[in-house]
Amino acid sequence: MPVTRRAILLGAGITALSVSASRAAAWATDVGVYTEPTLVPALRAAGRIFTASHGAGVAVLAAPAALLLAQIQHNAAHDVLIVPASFMDDAVRRGYVEARSRRDGWRDDLVIAAASGADTGQDARIVLARGTIAVTDQTVASTLDGHAVLDALGLTSLARVQGVANTSDAAFMVATRAVPLALVYQTDVQADRRLAVAAKLAAAPVVFATGLNPAPPSRNAQAFMDFLATDAAIAELRRAGLEVSA
């Protein structure tokens, strides 16, 4: 069978699975959301609320934004796309998202994470003295270039850096005590009780934008977009670490 829209997106790679006709029919009601890995816990939590109230499932499929756009180019039919604003600009230009449906304003802070129980709320320069910090390399495996963030803040000379593929890897290294620190999103910390925010960074937060496929495969796609602007959804997203404009 040809590649369907319910591709499973894993890390830096994308694996497509074929499906039965009955499953394909069910997907006409399910909502397919393509997004960055760091937003998966937040969107799955919001999706459970949507399913309880609307009866439609929400499939959250994740990969770095550049790979998501590449997958869409090869006919993977998303319903809702949620990516950093600069990538949404590209998605709108390419016609992957209906321009009028675009909503900006999901802000995700960049932080230095440490193991839960460590001192928190400190200056980044003091925190970096604790030891090696895991940061994302500039590769297709991650939208975030951690080295560039440290450079922009003038922190590179203070840091002993361990390059990793993505913020999930960075968070895992701290959670398992392989390194004491990691540069990650606030949402990464909120998703793992083993982590705490040792320092917030002065860098501008990453702003994510949401948008709807001009011809969404699911008839519930618009309902899910509308749901994301409700008080119930915003409260769930904020619990997951996002700052969302009401």
At residue 5, the pLDDT reads 39
- Distant-in-sequence, close-in-space partners of 146: CB < 8 Å, separation ≥ 6: 135, 136, 137, 163, 170, 183
Whether 3 shows a pLDDT value over 90: the answer reads no
* The domains spanning 8-107+206-244 and 110-200 adopt the same CATH topology: yes
Q: How far is CA 238 from CA 2, 45, 73, 228, in A?
A: 38, 11, 31, 12
Residue spans of the domains in the chain: they are 8-107+206-244, 110-200
CATH number of 8-107+206-244: 3.40.190.10
The CATH class, in words, for 110-200 is alpha beta
pTM of this prediction?
0.86
Looking up tokens 């932080």, which residue turns up?
A: 111
Report pLDDT digits (tens) over 58-99: 999 999 999 999 999 987 789 999 999 999 999 999 999 999
Residue 198: alpha-carbon gap to chain centroid? 21
At residue 12, the pLDDT reads 37
Average pLDDT value for residue range 139-154: 93
